[in-house]
Amino acid sequence: MKLDRYPPQEPLSAVGAAYAERIMALGHGIEGKEAAYGPDPYQGLTVFEADQGGAGDAVRSLLVFFHGGGWTSGYKEWMHFMAPALVAEGVTFVSAGYRLAPGHVFPTALEDAADAVAWVWNHVANADPAKPMRLFVGGHSAGGHYASLLAVDGAWRKARGLPHDVLSGCLPVSGVYRFGEGSGLNTRPRFLGSGDEARTDRAASPILQIDPKACPPFLITCGSRDFPHLVKQAGEMASALRDAGVPVRSEILEGADHFDASVACGEHPAGWPALAAAWMRQPAASSSHPVDRSS
């Protein structure tokens, strides 16, 4: 996987660099079909097609997943390691990139994420009318934040000519759901930009943008040793969704920190992929059965 085609991005911390090296090694040699939904190098997709639906489903599942990286770094290639486990479960997997801060601030990357989903809907999900696909979105960390924003708000769908119910579910992993007061963040992320900070913080907070008429079911996952403010936010987001009448299932990956939670997204046969695939086959499920990774 060559990353030199991309413009430079923010340098990673030592912990972030170790995570990137780990997942790139896990994804070595895993290749899919490359596509672009825009002219920028970061506006790209990699499609990993499953031959047929899991467990003999007449309707197949398709998951568009966004990488993390603190909104300032990361590549779609980071998530390639997830593909084999999900494809084995009958899920067509799409890893999507987006433009990064500080060069591109909110809502640029959110618009990219929406454009990526629209491209997938038009070119992959409906490629074979005889084999319909249910479309899901997910992501890790910053990617989970963008996926959640897409799920709770329906305005972007209308703007792109997509069906109101285009999304069948959302699967954020170690996502961020609130900015500003009460978020627990030590500093305000730079991707939010300047200007009217209170207004932007609210617009970027999925927990404050829930539209029950637009919102599909959620499968919210985080690690038991994840960043404390993200564990707290995950619980608050689940509660807010339930209060809005949205089906939600919460999962804790026992023993996993923020980065282990991402790695768990590629573990097979046990682990998150099997859990996620089963949930996607029954997207309205809301019961909770924690995944124990402590052994």
- Does residue 31 fall inside a structural domain? yes
- Does residue 123 fall inside a structural domain? yes
Task: Give the pLDDT of residue 58.
Answer: 61
- Does residue 290 fall inside a structural domain? no
Task: Give the pLDDT of residue 289.
Answer: 42
3-state secondary structure labels for all residues of the chain? CCCCCCCCCCCCCHHHHHHHHHHHHHCCCCCCEEEECCCCCCCEEEEECCCCCHHHCCCEEEEEEECCCCCCCCCHHHHHHHHHHHHHCCEEEEEECCCCCCCCCCCHHHHHHHHHHHHHHHHHHCCCCCCCEEEEEEEECHHHHHHHHHHHCCHHHHHCCCCCCCEEEEEEECCCCCCCCCCCCCCCCHHHCCCCHHHHHHHCCHHHCCCCCCCCCEEEEEEEECCHHHHHHHHHHHHHHHHCCCCEEEEEEEEEEHHHHHHHHHCCCCCHHHHHHHHHHCCCCCCCCCEECCC
Quick one: pLDDT band at residue 269, thresholds 50, 70, 90? confident
- Does residue 295 fall inside a structural domain? no
Q: Is the pLDDT of residue 165 over 60?
A: yes
CATH number at residue 25: 3.40.50.1820
- Does residue 10 fall inside a structural domain? no
Q: Quote the domain boundaries for residue 34.
A: 18-285
- Does residue 12 fall inside a structural domain? no
- Does residue 277 fall inside a structural domain? yes
pTM of the model: 0.94
* pLDDT higher at 114 or 268: 114
- Does residue 5 fall inside a structural domain? no
Q: Is the pLDDT of residue 183 over 50?
A: yes
Q: How many domains, the chain?
A: 1
The mean pLDDT value of the chain amounts to 93
